[in-house]
Amino acid sequence: MTPSQLAAAITQTLAEATDLRHGERLCLGEAAKILNALDLGPVPCFECRRAPCACTPSEGQHAAIIEFMGRHPGQWPTAHIATAQRGTLVLRRNQDGAVNVTGVGSYSNRPWFGKIGHDGVFRSSSNAHRLGWADAIIQALNDFAHDPQHMVAAYGHQTDHCSFCQTELTDERSTAAGYGPICADKYGLPWGTA
**Predicted pLDDT at 25:** 55
CB atoms within 10 A of CB 74: 8
What mean pLDDT is predicted for residues 84-105? 87
User: Above pLDDT 70, what percent of the chain?
Assistant: 69
- CB within 8 A of 105, min separation 6: which ones? 111
pLDDT digits (tens, 9 = 90+) for 17-50: 544 444 455 555 566 566 555 655 544 554 555 5
- Mean pLDDT is lowest, of 17-21, 55-59, 185-189, for 17-21
For the chain, domain boundaries: 1-55, 63-187
Contact 177, 191 (CB under 8 A): yes
**Predicted pLDDT at 7:** 66
* Cis peptide upstream of residue 52 (ω within 30 degrees of 0): yes
Backbone angles phi, psi at 112, to 5 degrees: -95, 120
With bands split at pLDDT 50, 70 and 90, how would you rate the model's confidence at 131? confident
